[in-house]
Amino acid sequence: MERTVVRIEGGQALGQRQRQEDAWGGGEMTGGCWAAVADGLGGHREGDRASRTAIDAIREHMRTMPLPADADWSAWLESGVMSAHRAVE
C-alpha cells in the first residue's frame, strides 16, 4: 500500500499591526491530517491569546475525537469549531 506524506507549513505577515494576533495549526489525525487558521481580530484585547486558544482546542478535538464511522463530516467539524468557541469564551 502506498503511503501519502503531507507536510503542513504556515507563515504569517505582521501587516500594519504592531503584533501578530493570528494563529494556525495542523497535524495528523486518525485517517488523515488537518489544518486550521484562527483570526485574532487585530486590535481586540488579547486577540493573540484567543486565536492560540482556539487552535489548541481544535488540535485537542482532532486528537481525541475520531472521525465518525458514518462520516458525518459536517457535524464532526462543527463539534470542533464549537469546542474552540467554548475555549475562547
In tens, the pLDDT along 17-75 reads 777 788 999 988 777 788 999 987 766 788 889 999 999 999 999 888 877 777 788 88
Query: Is 35 part of any domain?
Result: yes
- Tally of domains within the chain: 1
Instruction: Evaluate if residue 83 carries a pLDDT over 80.
Output: yes
Q: Is residue 78 part of a domain?
A: yes
In a domain, 9, yes or no: no
The pLDDT, as a whole number, for residue 82 is: 95
What's the confidence (pLDDT) of residue 52? Answer: 94
Check the CA dihedral 78-83-87-89 and report its sign: positive
Residue 72 resides in a domain:
yes
Query: Could you tell me if residue 14 is inside a domain?
Result: no
Is residue 62 assigned to a domain?
yes
Angle between helices 73-88 and 47-64 (to 10 degrees): 140
Q: Give the type of residue at 18.
A: Q
Whole-angstrom CA distances from 33 to 15, 21, 50, 53, 76 are: 29, 24, 23, 20, 14
pTM of the model: 0.80
In a domain, 13, yes or no: no
User: Burial code of 36-61, b = ≥16 C-beta within 10 A, e = fewer?
Assistant: bebebebeeeebbebbbbbbbbbbeb
Residue 4 confidence (pLDDT): 77
In a domain? residue 80: yes
